[in-house]
């Protein structure tokens, strides 16, 4: 079985532990994917877990600043692809799924505000080093 997350190439940032990609469905939606094919968060070493947690925290802050989102959702499921990845998703009170998860069915149409992905990318790269 080939894992679609083991060979991600369309990332905008990569370090020794994880890579980051923009997910097209929602502007500002970022997926953090571990380089190692591990299934659970607890498969990481303590140091790796801390590093990823702090990275997610930084990304959340940058997304809040540049999207004016009402909420940032952070989710790790992996039911479909058992390779650890974390969804970091800007949410708006009138977005198609609010207040449900974005994995639910859409309940309304929504026009996203203008979001500068280049600026977000730039700031994340600077912030994570
Ligand atoms: Zn994998």
| pLDDT (tens digit per residue) in 63-106 | 999 999 999 999 999 999 999 999 999 999 999 999 999 988 99
CA dihedral 51, 78, 88, 20 (to 10 degrees): 60
Residues with beta carbon < 5 A to ion ligand 1? Answer: 3, 5-6, 37, 83
Q: What is d(CA 75, CA 79) in angstroms, rounded to the nearest whole number?
A: 12
pLDDT tens for each residue of 24-60: 889 999 999 999 999 999 999 999 999 999 999 999 9
DSSP three-state, residue 123: helix
Q: Is a pLDDT exceeding 70 seen at residue 1?
A: no
* Domains in the chain with CATH codes: 13-128 (3.30.428.10)
Q: What is the DSSP letter of 76?
A: -
Q: Is a pLDDT exceeding 70 seen at residue 110?
A: yes
C-alpha 32 – ligand 1 centre gap (Å): 13
């Amino acid at each position: 079985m080939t894992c679609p997350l083991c060979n991600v190439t369309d990332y905008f940032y990569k370090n020794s532990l994880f890579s980051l990609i923009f997910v097209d469905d929602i502007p500002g939606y970022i997926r953090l994917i571990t380089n190692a094919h591990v299934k659970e968060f607890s498969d990481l070493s303590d140091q790796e877990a801390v590093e990823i947690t702090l990275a997610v925290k930084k990304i959340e802050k940058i997304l809040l600043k540049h999207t004016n989102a009402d909420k940032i959702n952070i989710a790790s499921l992996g039911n479909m692809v058992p390779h650890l990845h974390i969804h970091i998703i800007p949410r708006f009170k009138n977005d198609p799924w609010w207040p449900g998860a974005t994995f639910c069915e859409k309940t309304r149409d929504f026009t996203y505000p203008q979001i500068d992905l280049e600026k977000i990318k730039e700031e994340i790269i600077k912030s994570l080093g």
